[in-house]
Amino acid sequence: MSAPASHAPAAGHADHGHDDSKFQIYVNIAMLLAVITGVEIVGIYLPFAKWIIVTALVVLSVVKFMYVIFYFMHLRWDKPFCTIMFFIGLVLAAGTAWALVALFMVKDGIPITATP
């Protein structure tokens, strides 16, 4: 019986197959993001109700955001702990932004102007 053939690359030869497939994934995602951006730009000028356009833009932006963080920021291949930490920071930042918007929307926050 002969020993099973090894699938490891020969000495001095690097295995670029995995890198090429990741490169192709990045190119495909970049093209998808460009198409989504084009749809967003065209969608602004379509004669639909404002709430439909805003909802579509928010959904498309969330899709683009998820692709960017999971592929270009490498969270897809990272440890789950790093992904959880990223989303905890994201929730804290969103909560802080929401609190600031709510704080400055209060009518009492508007300066009083002097009347002549």
Same domain (yes/no): 59, 91: no
Say how many domains are in the chain: 2
**Same domain membership, residue 72 and residue 98:** no
Average pLDDT, the chain: 83
Return the top range by mean pLDDT from 38-47, 78-87, 105-114.
Answer: 38-47
Q: Report whether pLDDT(35) > 90.
A: yes
| 85 falls within a domain | yes
pLDDT band at 19 (very low <50, low <70, confident <90, very high): low
Whether residues 63 and 86 share a domain: the answer is: no
Confirm whether 38 is domain-assigned. yes
50-67 vs 17-44: helix crossing angle, rounded to 10: 170
26 belongs to a structural domain:
yes
Q: What is the DSSP string of 65-106?
A: HHHIIIIIT-TTSS-HHHHHHHHHHHHHHHHHHHHHHHHHTS
Alpha-carbon dihedral 63, 69, 72, 77, rounded to 10 degrees: -120
pTM over 0.85: no
Q: Confirm whether 115 is domain-assigned.
A: no
Q: Are residues 50 and 98 in the same domain?
A: no
Range of the domain at 66: 20-77
Residue 39 lies in a domain: yes
Rounded Cα distance between 12 and 22, Å, is 22
